[in-house]
Amino acid sequence: MSAKHPVIAVTGSSGAGTTTTSLAFRKIFAQLNLHAAEVEGDSFHRYTRPEMDMAIRKARDQGKHISYFGPEANDFGLLEQTFVDYGRHGKVSRGNTSTPMTKPCRGIRCRGPLPRQPLPEPTDVLFYEGLHGGVVTPQHDVASHVDLLVGVVPIVNLEWIQKLIRDTSERGHSREAVMDSVVRSMEDYINFITPQFSRTHINFQRVPTVDTSNPFAAKAIPSLDESFVVIHFRNLQNIDFPAVGDAAGLVYLAHEHHGGAGR
């Protein structure tokens, strides 16, 4: 961790609202006149989407599973080294550069390694948005190099509803294919995604107030008016709650401007 070159990570699954939260952070950076080096989590995928489809089929033929949640499809070592380099030097080594933000893919987000570009210099903070900002494995401890780790996660049934509707409406997948993806990803989700939310400094968890008991039969994502957000702090000491309230207002405004649940 570094006071001089801090690393901030917003971690959560696609559709959880990480993009909305990132918009709020950008507003905060602008207000404080901070220049952020932005790192997109998809930069650390090992495969493009077509390559990932091939890897999934190959793993299935071998009786194995692979998903975007696990280490087989992500370079945790490169992610960890990116945070280490920035924390120590305020920049990333020449062979370990990453990309700012996202690239469009026919109107939706692309999976797969994005073209790496040098991070801008000089910057005041590194800002990461993706799946693995707080991941820990026997080989890598990404979380220990993050100064502020923010988790954005809906309850799991809501997360599945969002995935089902997004993948069927935007990506042309069948419901059966989406359900198969959920089953295939579950082991990695349990081992690499959910433990991160016990390491975060702050969690934002969206909870619906309508019936979501069968997420795979849902026809629509619960609206904002049908949900509330639980905010959990790992340590309540020295929390400036008025400032948190101001930040929460920025999150709300960013959410309204962005028009929905985020990623």
What domains lie within the chain, and their CATH numbers? 7-255 (3.40.50.300)
Rounded to an integer, what distance in angstroms lies between the CA atom of residue 48 and that of residue 54?
A: 10
Q: What percentage of residues in the chain have a pLDDT greater than 90? A: 46
Rounded to an integer, what distance in angstroms lies between the CA atom of residue 32 and that of residue 26?
A: 10
Q: What is the pLDDT of residue 101?
A: 36
Q: What is the pLDDT of residue 13?
A: 78
Rounded to an integer, what distance in angstroms lies between the CA atom of residue 156 and that of residue 63?
A: 26
Q: Which pLDDT tens digit goes with each residue over 112-171?
A: 444 556 677 789 999 999 999 999 999 999 999 999 999 998 888 998 998 899 889 888
Average pLDDT of the residues in 98-110 = 36
Task: Indicate the pTM of the whole model.
Answer: 0.81
Q: What is the pLDDT of residue 214?
A: 93
Of all helices (H) and strands (E), which one includes residue 119?
Answer: none
- The better pLDDT of the pair 37, 17 is held by 37
Residue 1: pLDDT band with limits 50, 70, 90: low
Mean pLDDT, the chain, integer: 81
Q: Which pLDDT tens digit goes with each residue over 202-247?
A: 999 989 999 999 998 888 999 889 999 898 988 777 666 666 556 5
Rounded to an integer, what distance in angstroms lies between the CA atom of residue 237 and that of residue 234?
A: 9
Q: Which pLDDT tens digit goes with each residue over 37-57?
A: 999 898 899 998 889 889 999
Query: Does the structure show a pLDDT above 80 at 18?
Result: no
Q: What is the pLDDT of residue 243?
A: 63
Q: What is the pLDDT of residue 99?
A: 42
Rounded to an integer, what distance in angstroms lies between the CA atom of residue 67 and that of residue 88?
A: 32
Total H helices, total E strands in the chain = 6, 8
Neighbours of 35 (CB within 10 A): 12
Query: Does the structure show a pLDDT above 90 at 97?
Result: no
Give me 69's structure tokens.
């949640």
Q: Which residues pair with 104 in a beta bridge?
A: 109
Q: What is the pLDDT of residue 108?
A: 31
Query: Does the structure show a pLDDT above 90 at 83?
Result: yes
C-beta pairs of 153-157 under 8 Å, 24+ apart in sequence: 153/12, 153/13, 153/16, 153/197, 153/203, 153/204, 153/205, 153/206, 154/15, 154/16, 154/17, 154/205, 154/206, 154/207, 154/208, 155/205, 155/206, 155/207, 155/208, 155/212, 157/208, 157/212, 157/213, 157/215
